[in-house]
Every structure is written in C-alpha cells, then in structure tokens.
Amino acid sequence: MTSCLAGCLLPPGIALELLDLRPGERVVLPGVGTGLDLPLLPHGVAAAGVDISPEMLARAGAKLPLPGRDIELIQADAVHFLSERAEAFDAAVLHLVLSVVPDGRACLHAAVTALRPGGRAVVFDKFAPDRRVSMARRVMNVVASRLGTDVTRRFEPMLAGGLAHVVRDEPRLCGQYRIILLERVK
C-alpha cells in the first residue's frame, strides 16, 4: 500500500476515537451541521451540538433521539456560545468547522477555553500546508470560498495563544486533511 493510499483511509469515527470519550463526560460540537458525528458518540456522554443555521439543526435533530446519549441542539453562533462557557466541557469536536467559520482562530480559541484543564479537542479539517500558501491554492480558494470554505487557512496560526498543545497530528485523505488531537493546558 502506498503512503498516499494509507493516508487516504479515514475509518468512520477515527477522529472521535482519539478523544477517548467516557461515560459522564460533556462534549461540545461547534458547527454540528447535519449531525453526522452524533451517532458516533459513545453511550453515556452528554453533548451540546451548536450551529448558527436552523436548517442544519433541523437535519441534525432528525437523527435524535439516540439511545444512551443526552444530546442538546442549540442554535447560536459557536464562538459566542463557547465564550460564555469557560471550562464547561471535557471534550470538543471540530469537524470541518475551522475552514468555514468567519474566524477560525476565534472559534478554536473559544472551543479550547470552553474545555476544562486537561480537556481534549479533536480537529478534522482541510488546512493549507505549513509553508507559504501557493498561488494555485489561492486561485482555487476563489471558487472554494463561494462554496463556503477557505482552503488557504493554516492551522498553526490558529493555535497561537498557548491554551492547548498538540498531542497528535496526522495527515488524512492524501494529505489534504488533518486530524489533530489537542489537550487544554492545565
């Protein structure tokens, strides 16, 4: 198997598995969207799915109830919602969110602030390489931005602030995406 092919594989739930969620923990899903992650949450967790779009929340709500999980869906701006809930959650799931919200850095900062010390966050998203963003990627972003995503965002500047450290960082889908596990500094 080539390294690219191995990097393309994304078994369902692998990002959530990295969180190692345990019964009794509280998890927040900013930008929950259609709720694709909700059925993957383990039994015994309490979850808050936050999205600004009532249409997305309606689609997520169609997946509920899920036996053994206490899931609340909240219509709100994720950054505002999280900013008011310092140290309220054990974990956060940021799947395909940081590249679509207006300010990815503010969203990540708010999510980490909402974690208790030692809390974990998992990020699955497309990020530009650490080096300079290529002209081709900037041109591609003209089209991508019309579809609601930014393919020129880099992860490392979003993490600035020292509230969390990277525990694991893996390329996925032939290096176009990354799964990043973070831990809130104690």
Domain boundaries, the chain: 3-184
The H-assigned helical ranges of 68-180 are 78-83, 104-113, 135-146, 155-159
User: Tens digit of pLDDT for each residue in 51-91?
Assistant: 999 999 999 999 999 999 999 999 999 999 999 999 999 99
pTM of structure? 0.84
As a whole number of angstroms, the distance between CA 34 and CA 62 comes to 9
Is residue 163 a contact partner of residue 109, using CB atoms and an 8 Å limit?
A: yes
Q: Residue 168: what residue type? A: R
Contact assessment for residue 167 and residue 91, using Cβ atoms and an 8 Å cutoff: no
- CA separation for the pair 150, 113 (Å, rounded): 24
**d(C-alpha 14, C-alpha 55), whole Å:** 27
Strand pairing class (164-172; 89-95): unpaired
Average pLDDT over residues 180-185: 95
Q: Which residues contact 3 (CB under 8 A, 6 or more apart)?
A: none
Kindly indicate whether the domain formed by 3-184 is annotated with CATH number 3.40.50.10470.
no
Q: Lowest-confidence range among 60-74, 80-94, 139-153, 169-183?
A: 139-153
